A and B are shown apart, each in its own frame.
Chain A
Amino acid sequence: MKIRLDRVVKTFNTFRAVKDVSLDIESGELVALLGPSGSGKTTILRMVAGLEYADGGHIYFGEQDATDIPVRDRGVGFVFQHYALFPHMTVAENIAFGMKVSKVKREKAEIASRVEDLLRLVRLEGLGGRFPAQISGGQRQRVALARALAVDPKVLLLDEPFGALDANVRRDLRRWLREIHDELGITTLFVTHDQEEALDLADRVVILNEGQIVQQGTPEQVCRDPKSAFVTRFLGDANRLSAEVRGGIAYAGGASIAAGDLADGAAELYARPGDLSWSQEGPGIAASITRVLDRPGGRRVITITTDGDHLEFDVEPELSVRAGQQGYVSLRRAQVFAV
């Protein structure tokens, strides 16, 4: 089911949570709404679900205007951040709930066999008789997904689906959700504030800030070509340097890099830790090492430039570096934005 948001507006009291958001989600696509807290991403999700009503604009499901269809009849599967499993029902009863209350009457046996299928799909065979309090957080999340899928939703909506889980479980569930999505082909929209999660999981990432979409595209597009300083900063660690653009080249300290078609004048330059390198001789930005952090995957060096900017970057673990060393930082890649 294709979803289309057309200039959707939502205001809470006087706070404009969502400002004129238009968005197209293709049928079968897996899309992430990514943004810091307060960016309106959850509000958008809840409006698509029908848990909040839009103050302005329209939401279309396929060709149908779904803006005023109540949540009950909208045919969406919603997975809550804290699962919202019914604590007084077993796992199987939780999954069967949607089918039991449905207007479409089903036989008891039919419901039971569908619950079994869903338990198998979310790899929880044999746990149908447990109560939510008796299973782990990751298992609860999978029950919540099975419950949402049980009503054959046209659209699957997930609010911070892995927010309350620890890092290892998160990574496993992420891969698994992707597999389920590919298997069922259901249009899926999920909200997250975790960049890694959005980039790992989604076909397309929609980045929001202060109630507006600031950029959208495939993970590759948003990572390689961020359109603003905000997107660059938000997507991951970045070193910021003040720079000056002259004739299409940005100069920062002793380093320079192509600035595309940016006009001459003051600019800011962002470089990822992996985009900087360290050498004893120039050219580059003169700096001295303040700290060396050893990590399983490599070695991170924190330096301070002569201008007082802090720069962080990664080096090979074999490279001999120590605090107090003097040297030069050179730029391999960077994003330059006008100030």
Chain B
Amino acid sequence: MSAIRTGRKPPRVGDNPLFRGLLIGIVLIVGAILVLAPLILIGFQAFSDGWRVYASTLVHPDTRHAILLTVITALIAVPINTIFGIAAAWAITKFDFPGRRFLLVLIEIPFSISPIVAGVAYLFVYGLQGLFGPVLDTYEIKILFALPGIILASMFVTAPFVARELIPLMQAQGRDLEEAATSLGASGWRTFLTVTLPNIKWALLYGVVLCNARVMGEFGAVSVVSGNIRGQTNTLPLHIELLYHDYQAAGAFASASILAILAVITIIAKVALERQGAGRVPRPALVTQVAVASETKP
């Protein structure tokens, strides 16, 4: 009987049941250990001292201020980066100009650079000993260790998110639709609103959701430029770290649970948006030579 079994071929090339089972098993186990377990742990730890402690941590003035600051940062950084992303994707996909590929690489830089490097770079530019430091000091403009610094650092880190979602899609769509609208007499702005935007809206929303999640969760760059002043320049991720260092584990986990919930909402939104977008892809990607080949889908 084993002779028959070994002689049997898998249904398709590469579809060996043993290999398949092994591979799926490894991925599941590693995924559970690396991703799922810590998330579940956050939930447990947050409530380890009971509901009361969880709630009191969240209503603590420092926590409330951290949440407020995070939301304000997101409300400013995300719209600016959305507009920047649309503009960049538009420029790269609809125009030919020298330096187009360079711009594409430039947009990608924040992905490959460590956020802390970005933070330090801002220190050098806007710090007291920095490039514009003295000038800013004379006019009493505070950028570092204040909201503007936090927003700038968040924007740097999340600059590519929207553009990167839009570029492959807009490249695949080409310029035909805009040309058609213009030849029918539509103005540039009208073409954008009635033709371009409806065809990129799902990808755009997806980019915005990802951008928002990252802005709210950004730690490295913000921690350098914010100065970690409790109740003043502490965003939620920084606040979590402070609580943890103060041996307030339950408080830290409670605050972390907010970010975790945000992450879950982001993922649900992502799945929903991808499903919405899937039915509306007009044509397969015909032009992909400039597409970001090295990208790894988040």
Contact = CB atoms under 8 A, between A and B. Distances in A.
Nearest to B195: A86
B293 interface: no
Task: Please classify how large the interface on chain B is, using the bins under 10, 10 to 19, 20 to 34, 35 or more.
Answer: 10 to 19
Given A88-B280, A102-B185, A151-B185, A78 B180 contact: yes
Contacts of B187: 72, 101
Interface in A76-99: 76-78, 80, 82, 84-88, 97-98
A84 B186 contact: no
29 contacts: A50-B183, A51-B179, A71-B179, A71-B183, A72-B182, A72-B183, A78-B179, A78-B183, A80-B176, A80-B179, A80-B180, A84-B176, A84-B177, A84-B180, A85-B180, A86-B180, A86-B195, A87-B199, A87-B282, A88-B280, A97-B181, A97-B194, A98-B184, A101-B181, A101-B185, A101-B186, A102-B185, A147-B184, A148-B183
Contacts of A133: 282
A85 B179 CA distance: 11
B10 interface: no
B186 A72 contact: yes
A163 to B, nearest CB: 14
A150 B199 CA distance: 23
A82 B176 contact: yes
Interface in A146-163: 147-148, 150-151
A97 B183 contact: no
A103 interface: yes
A96 to B, nearest CB: 10
Contacts of A87: 199, 280, 282
A50 B187 CA distance: 14
Interface residues of A, number: 26
Contacts of A186: none
Contacts of A49: 183
Q: Which of B183, B185, B186, B280 has the most CB of A within 10 A?
A: B183
Given A101-B184, A133-B282, 12 more contacts: A49-B183, A71-B179, A72-B186, A78-B179, A84-B176, A86-B195, A88-B198, A97-B194, A98-B185, A101-B181, A101-B186, A101-B187
A77 B258 CA distance: 55
A11 to B, nearest CB: 14
B275 interface: no
B183 A76 contact: yes
B190 interface: yes
Contacts of B176: 80, 82, 84
A72 B182 CA distance: 5
Given A87-B280, A87-B282, A88-B199, A97 B179 contact: no
A71 B182 contact: yes
A293 B111 CA distance: 62
B185 A72 contact: yes
Given A51-B179, A80-B179, A97 B184 contact: yes
Q: Which of A51, A77, A87 has the most CB of B within 10 A?
A: A87
A87 B176 CA distance: 12
A102 B185 CA distance: 6
Given A72-B182, A76-B183, A101 B177 contact: no
Interface string A276-291: 0000000000000000
Contact of A51 (B183, B195, B282, B283): B183
Contacts of A51: 179, 183
Contacts of B180: 78, 80, 84-86, 147
B183 A103 contact: no
A98 B185 CA distance: 6
Interface string A94-126: 000110011100000000000000000000000
A256 B292 CA distance: 63
Contacts of B190: 101
